[in-house]
A and B are shown apart, each in its own frame.
Chain A
Amino acid sequence: MTQQEKEIRNALNQLSILEPTAAEAPHPAGQMLARVRQEIDRQEEDRLITRFGRFMMNNNRRYATVTLLLVLLFGAAFSFPAVRTAASDFLGMFRVQKFAAISISPEQIAILQRVAEEGLTPGELEIIEEPGELVPVESLAAAQAQTGLTNTRTLPGLGAPAEIWVADGGNGRLTVDLAGARAIVAATGADPLLLPDSLDGAQVDVTVFAGIQQQWADGTMLMQTASPVVEYPDDVDPTVLGEALLQVLGLNEDEAYRLARSIDWTSTVLLPIPQDFASFNEVTVDGVSGLVLNSLSGEGSASFWQKDGVVYLLLGPGMGTEDLVSLAGTLR
């Protein structure tokens, strides 16, 4: 036996101590299969929300996976509101203020999807307070009382909403594992060394607040919530993380370097939009700068904006940009 074979044999012998004993054998496979099936059924039910919501979910499934991954990885880079410099009273506390979008190719999405599916994670995510599920309420007044949102707005031109839901907020903490984060970046073809050593063990705290969702009979949907808060270490350089993010999204090194330095990462949430899902435009909506997405299949449009500390999402089935912006202008 060669020295190399001996080395392998010794390692495998040592690992044999980890084998499950009879008492540690799994429950019968049939029982576990029933558990898995139950969870699948629950997932399927969750998918059935509204026609447009379903459209968004089905067409956005890859986007959701990718976004989750990226939010985890770049929690800090994703949400750097403008108050950074003004907030010396709240060092390291930031709020979402503005939205921008970048197109992402199907090929890059497939790469990101594979990375997400394979379970690579950029650190340990601890959900401290689980955000609540949507719960129906009787009226806007009830929604307002339940969420504490004092400046609730609606679309009076559409009449009373057919349904109103509220959801509680929540918060979580990502503790970055640099090796895992770099492995993800490398797996997407980007430069892992863009992530600095100082990121290892960094804690990113994310808080989302209670929100209200209104839906009208024609499928129009309005969601509003106080701007989420992200807290991250003061020594994290958002531009460098932004550059890594742009490479992960498929930009080459030069493009990522240039674009990262043209984006105000202290005030911008960057949304990666799949090329084959929607086109997007920056527009003035509700008197502020916002983003409109138009689904390529003609299902409708969606707009994101932030005003007076409240983040809005308006979905308009069958609408184009102009109609959606006009509708947003009627918010009261």
Chain B
Amino acid sequence: MTTLTDNLLLERIGQGDAASFEAAFHQHYDRVYGLLFRLVGNRAEAEDLAQEVFLQLYNHAFRKKLFARNREHNVSAWLYRVATNMGYNAIRGRQRRWQRNTVLVPDPQGSPAAEKEVEQQEMKTAVRTALAQLKPRQVQLLLMRQMAFSYAECAAACDVAPGSVGTLLVRAAKAFREAYEAEGIED
């Protein structure tokens, strides 16, 4: 299955080929989940969003069959872009819903008893709050790189030239540091 081009994979999914859809799912699910979990910090929410990403893939493939047969597609780049946007929107929405310009608190899953856990939780919250201040592409670049995606994969997913990934990463890291420091939490 790995020998299939993304275009062919999409075409087969669009034709209702279950094996192709399953191949794409198994190939990308863990990393899509990992990306979403880093953003939302909640297993159930990350799984729901991951499900939505793959539903979008199915619908995307269906539409592609009908309307864009000759366009080239990069399935993995598309998946991580959509996942980032969904996760990013979730934390932005959560932030807006709860506290504008204040600390972003993840959805509660039970209160950690130990003080260390509380501290850890606060740090995660601060990191996510800082990420929510960045542009979606910066968030995507940082998280993909943290997940050990290659520069080429980052470039494809962010739709930028491979040669510019380094520069964009530096800018994103700087923006992240500034946003994190603005949260007023010391390392």
**How long is the Cα–Cα vector from A119 to B39 in the complex, in angstroms?**
15
A-B contact count (CB 8 A): 128
Question: Which residues of the other chain, B, contact A33 by a CB distance below 8 angstroms?
Answer: 22, 25-26, 29
**Which chain A residues in 14-62 approach chain B with CB under 8 Å?**
14-20, 24, 26-27, 29, 32-33, 35-37, 39-40, 43, 58, 61-62
Interface residues of chain A, those whose CB is within 8 Å of chain B, are: 4, 7-8, 10-12, 14-20, 24, 26-27, 29, 32-33, 35-37, 39-40, 43, 58, 61-62, 106, 110, 113, 117-121, 124, 175, 177, 180, 183, 201
How many residues does chain B have at the interface if contact means C-beta atoms less than 8 Å apart? Answer: 57
A271 to chain B, nearest CB (A): 20
Which of A4, A14, A24, A119 is within 8 Å of B170, CB to CB?
A: A4
Structural contact, A119 and B86, CB atoms closer than 8 A: yes
Question: Which residues of the other chain, A, contact B96 by a CB distance below 8 angstroms?
Answer: 124, 175, 177, 201
Q: Does B169 contact A (CB under 8 A)?
A: yes
* CB-nearest residue of chain A to B18: A37
Question: 25 A–B contact pairs at CB < 8 A?
Answer: A12-B173, A15-B143, A15-B176, A18-B41, A20-B33, A20-B34, A20-B43, A26-B29, A26-B43, A26-B47, A29-B26, A33-B25, A39-B51, A40-B55, A40-B58, A43-B55, A62-B63, A110-B68, A117-B60, A118-B85, A119-B56, A119-B86, A120-B85, A177-B92, A177-B93
**How long is the Cα–Cα vector from A210 to B39 in the complex, in angstroms?**
38
**Which chain B residues in 134-178 approach chain A with CB under 8 Å?**
136, 142-143, 145-146, 166, 169-170, 172-174, 176-177
**How long is the Cα–Cα vector from A16 to B169 in the complex, in angstroms?**
16
Structural contact, B50 and A32, CB atoms closer than 8 A: yes
Question: Which residues of the other chain, B, contact A14 by a CB distance below 8 angstroms?
Answer: 127, 176, 180, 187
Question: Which residues of the other chain, A, contact B12 by a CB distance below 8 angstroms?
Answer: none
Structural contact, B51 and A36, CB atoms closer than 8 A: yes
Structural contact, B142 and A113, CB atoms closer than 8 A: no
* CB-nearest residue of chain B to A9: B173
**How long is the Cα–Cα vector from A177 to B120 in the complex, in angstroms?**
30
Structural contact, B29 and A32, CB atoms closer than 8 A: yes
Q: A15-B38, A175-B96 are in contact. Are A118 and B25 (CB under 8 A)?
A: no
* CB-nearest residue of chain A to B100: A201
Which of A8, A62, A119 is within 8 Å of B85, CB to CB?
A: A119
**How long is the Cα–Cα vector from A175 to B97 in the complex, in angstroms?**
9
Interface residues of chain B, those whose CB is within 8 Å of chain A, are: 18, 22, 25-26, 29-30, 33-34, 37-39, 41, 43, 46-47, 50-51, 54-56, 58-60, 63, 66-68, 78, 81-82, 85-86, 89, 92-93, 96-97, 120, 123-124, 127-128, 136, 142-143, 145-146, 166, 169-170, 172-174, 176-177, 180, 187
A245 to chain B, nearest CB (A): 21
* CB-nearest residue of chain B to A18: B38
Task: Please list the 7 inter-chain residue pairs (A to B) with the smallest Cβ-Cβ separation, ordered nearest first.
Answer: A119-B85, A11-B173, A18-B38, A124-B93, A15-B146, A26-B33, A119-B86
Q: A61-B66, A117-B56 are in contact. Are A17 and B120 (CB under 8 A)?
A: yes
Question: Which residues of the other chain, B, contact A12 by a CB distance below 8 angstroms?
Answer: 142, 145-146, 173
Question: Which residues of the other chain, A, contact B136 by a CB distance below 8 angstroms?
Answer: 120, 183
Structural contact, A36 and B33, CB atoms closer than 8 A: no
Which of B34, B58, B177 is within 8 Å of A10, CB to CB?
A: B177
Structural contact, A7 and B46, CB atoms closer than 8 A: no
**How long is the Cα–Cα vector from A7 to B175 in the complex, in angstroms?**
10
Question: Which residues of the other chain, A, contact B34 by a CB distance below 8 angstroms?
Answer: 19-20
* CB-nearest residue of chain B to A12: B146
Structural contact, A61 and B63, CB atoms closer than 8 A: yes
A203 to chain B, nearest CB (A): 11
- Given A15-B127, A117-B60, A124-B89, 8 more contacts at CB 8 Å? A8-B173, A10-B173, A17-B124, A20-B34, A20-B38, A29-B26, A33-B22, A180-B92
Q: A10-B173, A32-B29 are in contact. Are A26 and B46 (CB under 8 A)?
A: yes
**How long is the Cα–Cα vector from A118 to B80 in the complex, in angstroms?**
10
B87 to chain A, nearest CB (A): 9
* CB-nearest residue of chain B to A58: B66
A56 to chain B, nearest CB (A): 14
Question: Which residues of the other chain, A, contact B50 by a CB distance below 8 angstroms?
Answer: 26, 32
Structural contact, B29 and A124, CB atoms closer than 8 A: no
Question: Which residues of the other chain, B, contact A106 by a CB distance below 8 angstroms?
Answer: 67
Q: A10-B173, A14-B180 are in contact. Are A32 and B22 (CB under 8 A)?
A: no
Structural contact, B97 and A124, CB atoms closer than 8 A: yes
**How long is the Cα–Cα vector from A7 to B178 in the complex, in angstroms?**
11
